[in-house]
Amino acid sequence: MNKTYLKLSLDLDFVLIAITASLKDYVFCHQINTRLNLDFEKVDDHEVYFNVDEPPLAFSKYYFYIEQGDNEFFILNNRNSEGFLIPEMSKVDYFMIIHSYIDKEDLSYILTGLNKLPDIQVAAQIDPYKLKSKENLVM
């Protein structure tokens, strides 16, 4: 009997920024909103099923949309009381996900602005394909 295998590939067509900042998520987003002139708002949590038998883990999520350019921005908390969204990045506190096209100038503006905030230790772009737990970032 022949076996057929289904091979799935994830569409990770977004820019991913890892951010280390020891702030509460609402304080963190407020600082970004005021200093970078963005408008992140709290939305329903990002839920991830780690085990089929267990309820999903919820990670706080913030959202911002720019009509001009059709860009969607998300901020996801990497940790909650039960674990990490991306366990191999345990030193990272937040991820910023930017869907749609963003040019190098705008990305540089965001990275520079984030790194200038006094409570942010580091903000750096990372390649989502290199993460073992990349499927946890799919929304």
* Residue 84: CB atoms within 10 Å: 18
For 7, 61, 86, 137, the CA distances from 133, given in Å and listed in that order, are 17, 18, 6, 8
| 5 is a domain residue | no
Q: Quick one: the chain helix, strand, coil %, rounded to 5?
A: 25, 35, 40
| 100 is a domain residue | yes
Any idea what the CATH number is for the domain that residue 122 is in? Answer: 3.30.310
| 24 is a domain residue | yes
The pLDDT value recorded for residue 44 is 96
| 8 is a domain residue | no
User: Is residue 77 exposed (0-12), middle (13-18) or buried (19+ Cβ within 10 Å)?
Assistant: buried
| pTM beyond 0.85 | yes
| Domain span holding position 81 | 14-128
| 6 is a domain residue | no
Cα separation, 121 vs 98, in Å, equals 20
Looking at the structure of the chain, the number of domains it has is 1
Cα separation, 129 vs 67, in Å, equals 27
Tens-place pLDDT, residues 54-94: 889 999 999 999 888 788 999 999 999 999 999 999 999 99
Tens-place pLDDT, residues 6-54: 655 566 789 999 999 999 999 999 999 998 889 999 999 999 988 888 8
